[in-house]
Structure 1
Amino acid sequence: MAIALVPLLATLVESSEEVNHHMLQCLHATAMRHFTPMSDIMVASDNTWFSEKHGTVVKKSAQITMPYLETDFWKELLQDLHETEIWSLSLHLQNKSGKKEVLPRKHGNYIIISPYHDHEAVVTDISHQIKKLSNSWDWNPRAKFAVLLQRIHMQENSTQQLAADIFADLWLSRVVNAVVMVPTPNKHSNAMGTAPALQMYTWFPYQPPGHCADVRDAVLLDQWVVDSKGNGKFHYNIPLFPNKIPTNFHGCPVTVSVFEFEPSVMKESSASTTFDEGTGIRLLHEIVRKGNMSAVYLEPSHAEHWGLPYGNGSWSGGLGQVIGGQADLLAAYSYYRCHIINEIECSIPYFIDQIRWYIPCAMPYPRWMSLTRVFSPSLWLSFLAVYIVFALLMWQAVTVSNRFSLQSTNNHAYTSLIKCLFNFWAVILEQSISNNPPRIAAIRVVLLVWVLFCMSMNTVYQTYLTSFLVDPGLQHQLSSADEVFNSGMEFGFPFRWKPFLTDLSGDRYRHTHNCKSFRECLNRTSFTHNFAFMGSAIATDYMIAAEFTSSDGKPLVCSFDQIFTIQLALMTVTKGFIFLDYLNRIVSQLMDAGVIEHWSDNIKFTAILASATEMDLLAGEYTQLTLLHIQSAFYFLFLGYTVATIAFLLELTRYVKQLVCTPKRK
């Protein structure tokens, strides 16, 4: 029996060598014609099919054990690609595990080889290889895929169905630009003296029109034919990787994860039942309109609409829908996270957003302080010191003058320090004083200087007093993150930022509150004045303009110039999203035309006009003074009355006591 198998074994080995030679020729021609120069080629295969023993590769089979020349095929394939010096090569073997290396760029081309015979085994093998490859950060579903089936020998109809099943499995990983190369079952020469050796199958996801990425049939695209001398070539010589994304999708659906996030996604009015306004919605409508697509909206059920990681690799919210494949993209703009989440891709950015601090606006000073805030505390102290010094000078000058004067004085208004203080206080209040000061030049010069000084101070004070009565000014406004931390007030930010803003995980931000929505944090900041938070400038500034302004049009929440970080605002799509290049082209055109910026300004301006209907219109350039403006004057007036009343009662009490304690004369 063993002797009878020798001719069969020799025939199979010779046939295998011939097929491998044609495959190498075909792969070389395919790479030279269609693979982008200077890109990467990933060569993948399931080498669990082989085991090395004494330097010979052995096929494990239940019936027979036979030598094959797969090692020669692999060696010749890699050597052929390497010697071209056109591409960089990577080798992926399923049963080899080790440290994953992240290339600085995505793979541009893939060669996937399956050594199995059976239809089901081939599909399973390709599926496992694709899953292994897709777990890598270097995975690129938009690359060019050449799938080579080494040992398939079946009828043409079965070969076509096998290719269709492979395409259906590739589509699960969003791979479209693929060619399946199968040894041809019919090797008879044609009239031109060539015999087909390999058949190249592909599929078109949107042909015929209305056929929406539903894999039904594989299309025979070309054949690798061999002449009598063993030289091979493409029979039809047509591109193996044609453009498969049309400009008209004939109503094919795109699934969108949508939730309210102003000003990107929102409702045009409170009566609306769907999200029909916002920059993200307008952009989505433009993409759908230009491509003749239909949008299917899917709203996340999780309370955290954006999504948070569960810890097992899955996410909640809208991001979880995109990662899980339930949705193709997020309608609301999101920040670039493609460097930390392998299961998503990002469009080109159409906004540059800032994450900055939002703090309570500075409170106005109490109006009762208006009388004292005209001058600074240091100036008030200086004025008091000058007042006391001038009173002392006047008192000492009068005392010395009376001591050396030969005539007695009839005016005792400046003969004591208390009297000088009272008279000088009267000058401050612009009241009259003694009409007959001592007729001594030095004394009168001191008095004249004091009067001129008080007149100047009163003029300045009264000039600015009205301004302070109308506008008392604002207290200190927080102007940096350090001041926020040192102020003792609570602060927060959306916890969904932690995965991609690693600085927020530091000790400085340990005791923070989660801002599930910017509106929630704006409410707390504007009405309690004891909370600060970090927010998106685009979203937060819009909400402030639309809802958080006072009746006179001033914002209830403020920010300072310090920027925490700058983020790229873009669309997040599922890995391998087939419309990504089309989407980027539309976004680029709209940005170049300034349409997206116009949408943003228009939406914000409309919100400002809507909120302006509730504002109080200013009466004009001038402000009418009311009791509220001059309440500080009444406070000091009542304070003076109170002090005077207390002084009067004390004097009256003392007088009564003196009357009681004084003995009556007989």
Structure 2
Amino acid sequence: MCLFTELSSVNTMCRIVALLVILRSVVPITSGELTTAQHNVATCLDAIATRYFTPGQPLVISTPKSRAKHPRDSVVPHSDDFAMVDRLLANINAKERWPVLTTKENVSVSENGTPEKQHGYVLFLWKHDEDAHILETLHVQLDKLEGYVYSFNSRGKFVVVVTDTSIQNSHDLAKDIIKKMWTREKIVNILIMICSDHNVLHKNDSSAEHLDEQTLTFDLYTWFPYEPGQCGEVNKLVLLDQCVSGGLLHNITHFPSKVPQDLIGCPIKASVSHMSPYVIMTHNNTEEDGNITYKYRGIEIEYLLILTEKMNLSLTYLPPYEDEFMYRIIQQLLDVKNGKADVALGYCPLIPFFADFGDPTIPYLYSSVKWFVPCAKPAERQLYQMFTPPVWLAVALVFILTCTTFWGSANSVSASTVMESKNFRTLSSCFHNVWALSLGVAVPQLPISSRLRMFFLLSVWYHFFMGIIFQVSFTSFIVEPGYEKQIETFKDLIESRATFARDSMTKLLSEIASYHDLEKLKGPIEDCPDQAACLKRYLTEDGVTTMGTQFQAEYMASMVGTTEKRRRLLCTTKRNIASGGLVMILTRGHPLLERFNKIIQHSFEGGLVTKHWTELTLNASLHKSANSPDGSRSDSMYVAFTTSHLRASFCVLCSGLLLSFTVFLGEMLVT
């Protein structure tokens, strides 16, 4: 009886153990306990985070809004996927290496304080509903991440974990995930962790009975956008590694460089806007198939040509827009934002408004908008303007005192013992002698007395030095008579009442930037068809002012024939209206941005574009000279000496002649 009872108890215990094994295989484990597969995934994620995520930089953990719905026919033990997320967060927080940000689909996002770029992302994907799709979950999570407008970083490192172990064709799903993240955000530093197709996942598999949870492996996929046959198209994935029991299978780099040195002629589309001298259309040709090809040159285009040549890219241009400049710029930015073009350029300043449409490069050209004002004209000076009135008064006073001194010394009592020459005993004779000394000619007779000789010697030296000073001043007066007062401030420009040549772009930018100084101008305002026409008017007409950049003005000066030695014809006020750097705008998250910046920096430091700018202006000047040899404005560095400069001398001469004729008539009438 006792033996029977013991056997019955043993059978009951065996049944209970068998029932527990069956229940464990079909009923989820409690939320706080991880399956072996989930533990392996958490271990692999912890290793990847430690190895690749930069310490001190924000790390984002993103999950779906609700718990996963596992298939009822799954024979793999499963637990709450949030427990795996909690385990990962616990491991990360224990290391205290990254500031961690968690986000869910149903939680609103906000950026408080100063935004900081995020550098690492771990996205968990699972089906929160049996009818839902993994890509829908990914779409919602990307929308949430985009809510961090200034913090989201599509160039960060992304790890996407698909926790569902019942997915078939995991390779195709990983490809769809990468394709979606590339088309939406141009994300290339991505690692997909997904359950391998080689696992036995369903009950109806013939080998399901041999299923061991520890045999589950997760594949790690990535892609290279510029491999042969891809060129930005997601056609082929690369299996980098596997997550197995104990961690990662291979000790390799899981985030290798995705941009090779040679891009094997991959295409790049550019949207440009014509604006001399930054972008100049030189050629457009209609091909046999009806497509139109364009060719451009210019300062900014030179950078783009250097980039495409160095990286071996095939450059094509989108058809240009024919609207006004500002509307053309907006269309270019929309082309980049919508993915129609890879890069936009053509006088795009580095301002927050433009940066909202894409990612700007580093500035490669620094430009300032200035007021170009009329240059001071050569001063029309008369001969008497060589010296100031006090100087002329002092010279006349010395002349009179010298005559008086000669006359007084010759007729003094002490000189009665020595009979002085008659040429110094009358005032008229003394006047003639001093005038002769002033002109540097000889006098009729030298003085006799020693005292008068001393005064005479001093007078000779005085007039000798004054003659040298007069000759130097007279020569300088002929060579460079000076200029009128130059306009240096905006207040001077207002008082000058110069004609303001304004184009539509200047008017629109002034309204956008609230530049109200234009309303203070007192001179007439005349509209021009474009900026080039305004600058041409400024260079060819007198009394015209306009707004523009130094590059535009110098290029137009070369076009109209103003040469390097006459660069002073470009006169500006001391203060600039606005200054900034010009950039290219690439598609948000474009992987070529870093390479672009490096090559631009090297080109800028090497002076390659400065060399091109010099050649561009020189060729424009030579082209103008060849087509119109006499077309340049005559602007000699010397001033022709004409009779108008001697007006004062002729006035004195005519006055002397009139006085002499009057005296002559008086003598005739008296005698």
1:506/1:634 CA distance change after superposition, 3 Å: closer
CA distance in 2, matches of 1:391, 1:518: 67
Give, as a single letter, the amino acid of the residue that structure 1 aligns with 2:96: E
In structure 2, the residue matched to 1:122 is 134
1:210 corresponds to 2:229: yes
1:576 corresponds to 2:589: yes
8 Å contact kept, 1:338–1:344: no
Shift of 1:161: 3.6
Bigger share in helix:
2
Deviation sequence 1:316-341 (CA, Å, 0-9, x none): 15344334433222344654336972
1:490/1:30 CA distance change after superposition, 3 Å: farther
8 Å contact kept, 2:274–2:280: yes
1:292-303 → structure 2 map (5 Å cutoff)? 292-301=312-321, 303=323
1:161-560 → structure 2 map (5 Å cutoff)? 161-171=172-182, 172-183=184-195, 186-187=199-200, 194-207=214-227, 209-216=228-235, 220-225=239-244, 231-235=245-249, 238-267=252-281, 274-301=294-321, 303-305=323-325, 316-332=330-346, 334-337=348-351, 341-351=355-365, 358-366=372-380, 369-386=381-398, 430=439, 456-478=465-487, 519-530=532-543, 535-547=548-560, 549=562, 553-559=566-572
Give, as a single letter, the amino acid of the residue that structure 2 aligns with 1:571: M
In structure 2, the residue matched to 1:54 is none
Give, as a single letter, the amino acid of the residue that structure 1 aligns with 2:162: L
Shift of 1:271: 12
CA distance in 2, matches of 1:538, 1:142: 35
Give, as a single letter, the amino acid of the residue that structure 2 aligns with 1:96: S
Over the aligned positions, Cα root-mean-square deviation in angstroms equals 5.6
In structure 2, the residue matched to 1:64 is none
In structure 2, the residue matched to 1:12 is 28
Shift of 1:582: 2.8
Shift of 1:11: 0.9
Shift of 1:174: 0.9
Give, as a single letter, the amino acid of the residue that structure 1 aligns with 2:175: A
8 Å contact kept, 2:195–2:219: yes
Shift of 1:203: 3.4
1:506/1:388 CA distance change after superposition, 3 Å: farther
1:124/1:276 CA distance change after superposition, 3 Å: same
SS of 1:316's partner is: helix
Give, as a single letter, the amino acid of the residue that structure 2 aligns with 1:35: F
TM-score where L is the length of structure 2:
0.70
Shift of 1:137: 1.4
Deviation sequence 1:80-137 (CA, Å, 0-9, x none): 2122233332233453243444444x32211123343468643233223324433521
Give, as a single letter, the amino acid of the residue that structure 2 aligns with 1:468: F
8 Å contact kept, 1:255–1:297: yes
SS of 1:91's partner is: strand
94, 105, 111: which one aligns with 2:122: 111
Shift of 1:170: 1.1
In structure 1, the residue matched to 2:18 is none
In structure 2, the residue matched to 1:81 is 92
1:117/1:232 CA distance change after superposition, 3 Å: farther
TM-score where L is the length of structure 1:
0.70
1:589/1:552 CA distance change after superposition, 3 Å: closer
Shift of 1:549: 1.2
1:632 corresponds to 2:650: no
8 Å contact kept, 2:30–2:80: no
- Paired-residue identity, %: 24
Segments of structure 2 that go 5 or more residues without pairing to the other structure are: 1-21, 70-77, 202-207, 287-292, 417-421
Shift of 1:204: 3.5
8 Å contact kept, 1:42–1:91: yes
1:640/1:466 CA distance change after superposition, 3 Å: same
Segments of structure 1 that go 5 or more residues without pairing to the other structure are: 1-5, 51-57, 60-66, 226-230, 309-314, 406-410, 659-666
1:587 corresponds to 2:592: no
CA distance in 1, matches of 2:64, 2:502: 48
Shift of 1:629: 2.2
Give, as a single letter, the amino acid of the residue that structure 2 aligns with 1:265: V
1:599 corresponds to 2:608: no
Shift of 1:148: 2.5
SS of 2:188's partner is: coil
SS of 1:78's partner is: helix
Moved more, 508-517 or 109-118: 508-517
Shift of 1:297: 0.7
SS of 2:92's partner is: helix
CA distance in 1, matches of 2:284, 2:569: 23
CA distance in 2, matches of 1:329, 1:497: 25
CA distance in 2, matches of 1:497, 1:81: 55
8 Å contact kept, 1:330–1:572: yes
Moved more, 108-117 or 262-271: 262-271
1:576/1:42 CA distance change after superposition, 3 Å: same
SS of 1:472's partner is: coil
CA distance in 2, matches of 1:504, 1:425: 70
